[in-house]
Amino acid sequence: MNAIGNLFTGLSFIGLVILVPPFVWHIKNVNLPAVFLIFWLLFSNLTGFVDAIIWSGDDFYDQYDGRGLCDVTIKLKLGSVTGKLCAVSALSLQLFMILRANNLRFMNNRTKFKIIFDCVFCLTTPVIIMSLSYLVQGARIGVLRYYGCSGIYYSWVYLVIQSSMMLMWSLVATVLAVLTVYTYFRKKIDVKDILKCTNSGLNLKRFARLLIFSSIIILTLTPLSIYTFVGDVTTEQFRMRYNFHFIHNPLLWNYTYFVEAPLKILYFRWIDIGLSIITFLIFGIGTDAIELYKSILIRCGLGKIFRLNTLEDIDRFPSNISNDNTTKSPTNQTTKSQLSAGSNITGSTFIDGLEEFHELINDDDDDDDDDDEKVIPKVFTVDLEKGCQSEHDAESKEIEYFINGDHDGTDITYSYNITKHS
């Protein structure tokens, strides 16, 4: 390999590795539009890495003829461009429907309807393109230096099958992205409540990351689609009259054609590498990704090196208050719990008091509990005691409140004196 080949190999390998954590995270969350989009980027980096190793030297004419490998990758490369546009369109549509909040079938990624819809939306057009490409493919295998396997196509039918589909889906993605951004700013004050009420599985930060991610992809691929379409329309080989027998000449079909192509046609490689880096910066260094890295280290037996002894060490969510510290005696019972500052406690019976404590302790008002910043509440000690102190107390069913300690808002003890009939 020469210097350019080494550069493509190294960057493609880096792009391949850094895309794995976002890919795994979106699979775990069944976010299929993002999964398909990152899959196509992974495929592009994988083929870029392999192709640069095989076909980047000065003697690439004498290298592997691509039979078998190119038969598969040529089809996938043709479908990957439109596949990325379909996936980013589905992602923009998903975000738009969440903001609209008027169709519950689009809210949960794990429902059968949503899974089928995403698969059909993201895969139908690429599969059709890959299937029909044989009609305009003039040679079985073409190999470009640095780029590797490439199809050789003829006729205006190619414009209909491939170029026009790229342009159409880029426009669809752009329209959906504009609608999503417009709806987001129109409902900006209520977005947090909408995300929580719709059970979308997204908080404000996750939603913003997906919106930024889809917008960057669209801003990159839409101009590229327009440029490609204009270039194909002005290319002589795509203005030919369609003739199946001429295109599929049996004497020429089964050869491998090696072409010394100019470096400027490799812009797809540079763009995919750049999008891979952007994807990692958006999804690969957040709290969710860091927790994923920790769990991987633990499962690989490296947890002790990083002071992560068990999988519980990576759990950052507040747990329910247990009753382990509860002590019982015939005359009194004390339960200690923690409440955040500003909690109002009311009640008239012992059972009512316990129910209110349970509601306060398990209340989850913060839908960003897995964000980067953790809110540490002020701690109060709450003592619940019951017992008979006098005949008057034995007849009382009301809970009396006593506030003791300093009144600086940091150390307040609530004592519940609860009595019952003997």
pLDDT digits (tens, 9 = 90+) for 189-210: 888 888 888 777 788 888 888 9
Secondary structure (3-state) at 396: coil
The string of pLDDT tens digits covering residues 283-300 is 887 777 777 777 777 777
Kindly tell me the sign of the dihedral angle through the C-alpha atoms of 159, 164, 165, 167.
positive
pLDDT, mean over the chain? 75
pLDDT of residue 41: 95
The string of pLDDT tens digits covering residues 57-92 is 778 888 888 888 999 999 999 999 999 999 999 999
Of 69 and 357, the structure prediction assigns the larger pLDDT to 69
pLDDT of residue 119: 95
Cβ atoms 136, 238 nearer than 8 A: no
Reported as a pLDDT band with limits 50, 70 and 90, residue 177 is very high
pLDDT of residue 390: 41
Q: Give the separation between CA 320 and CA 364, rounded to whole angstroms.
A: 11
Q: Give the separation between CA 392 and CA 301, rounded to whole angstroms.
A: 63
User: Which secondary structure element, helix H or strand E, spans residue 268, and what is its range?
Assistant: helix 267-283
Q: What letters, b where the CB count within 10 A reaches 16 and e where it falls short, cover 344-367?
A: eeebeebeebeeebeebeeeeeee
* Of the candidates 230, 245, 269, 241, the residue with the CA atom closest to the CA atom of residue 46: 269
Of 270 and 370, the structure prediction assigns the larger pLDDT to 270
Reported as a pLDDT band with limits 50, 70 and 90, residue 303 is low
Secondary structure (3-state) at 384: strand
Above 70 in pLDDT, residue 408? no
Reported as a pLDDT band with limits 50, 70 and 90, residue 318 is very low
pLDDT of residue 307: 61
E strand spans, 132-181: 137-144, 148-153
Beta bridge partners of 327: 334
What average pLDDT does the segment 162-185 reach?
A: 93
Most confident option among 220-229, 242-251, 255-264? 220-229
Of 52 and 416, the structure prediction assigns the larger pLDDT to 52
Global confidence as pTM: 0.71
In the chain, CATH 1.20.1070.10 sits at 3-285
pLDDT of residue 249: 85
Q: Which CATH number is associated with domain 3-285?
A: 1.20.1070.10
pLDDT of residue 10: 92
Cβ atoms 12, 48 nearer than 8 A: yes
Rg of the chain on CA atoms, in Å: 31
Structure tokens at 211: 């919106």
Above 60 in pLDDT, residue 238? yes
